[in-house]
Structure 1
Amino acid sequence: MAPAFAAGLPAQLFGGASPRCLVPMGIDQDPYFRVVRDIAGGLGQPKPAVVHNKFLPSLAGLHAKMAATGPSGGAIHLTDTPKQVRKKMNSAFSGARGDGSLADHRRLGADLETDVPIKYLQYFLEDDAELATIEAGYAAGELTCGEVKQRAAAVVNEVLARHQQARARVTAEDVARFTAVRPLL
């Protein structure tokens, strides 16, 4: 509950103000934040706003569970190297039709509804025109699974590089200040 109230965060983050919180979450977390919204007034806090995000699928397929523990092949971690991301993306479930041969792919195209690398591109690729071009070419069999996986790995690596650079700038003092014991309300 505490992350849903700005009062529980260091005042330095907001210049002494206590803004409302926006909580991005998966739909599976909704019951918990409904409770928070119900009790916020009684705690003298504004109700947090929530945004439901789509789940990012496991690399093993749309119906496999992506977990932070266990075999790491189904998840890309924020600390993965570019080489690890490429290896994992190359093993990701693809939406191949037919018998999985290149000839069938060229003839039948890819199933964009089940293809995991396409889902990662839909989530992370900021250029909508490029995404539309990739989807059209892939669905028509003009682009191969390997080409789409290569582009998906590159896009994910760009996002991870930005995150890893920002994370490297966080100091021990920043962590200590953020995690200091203090009143929640």
Structure 2
Amino acid sequence: MGAEKSRDLVEGTDRLLRAIGHVVVAFQLLELWVAEALSAALRMKSVDDRHLVSAAMSYRQKVDLLFELYARHGMPASEFNPVIAKRAMLVAEEFRNRVVHSVWALHGEESRRWVRTKANLRGRSGFDVVTRPAQAELLEAASRAMNNVRNWEEGNEAELTLAIQALSAQEADF
């Protein structure tokens, strides 16, 4: 491999790994904000209660309980569409799971490139393995979309809808 191709591979690797990390951290922050909102909805006083909530429940359980409490007792002062907000949160989790449960690897001997491989045992077709070129720009866009989901309480329905579309559309491309 020539010096220029080697340099391009190193730069592409750095960008890809940063993008994967940004998706993971963006989701972790979203999960923390959900735990904080749930702690507030449960009227927990301690700052450490969000960690208690995080440790005791899966993300999906936290989201389900939070929105059930909103349905029963009302939402916080800010107005947002709970159906769209919850959908955005669940789509963000689905995307994050695809990222962290995929295998990221260099492929090819001559033209080394990053690929993402995802195996799936569920579904009508049974076992399936899909390998696609890794695309850092899609991961960067997903990270931005997750950051928009994290602001669900601001009530920007258009941004949440765009985030849902962006994260869902990447299922096919990603």
Kindly indicate which of the two structures has a greater share of residues assigned to strand: 2
Task: State the TM-score, normalizing by the size of structure 1.
Answer: 0.28
Larger-gyration structure (1/2): 1
Which protein has the bigger helix share?
2
State the TM-score, normalized to the length of structure 2.
0.29
* Relative contact order, higher structure (CA 8 A, sep 6+): 2
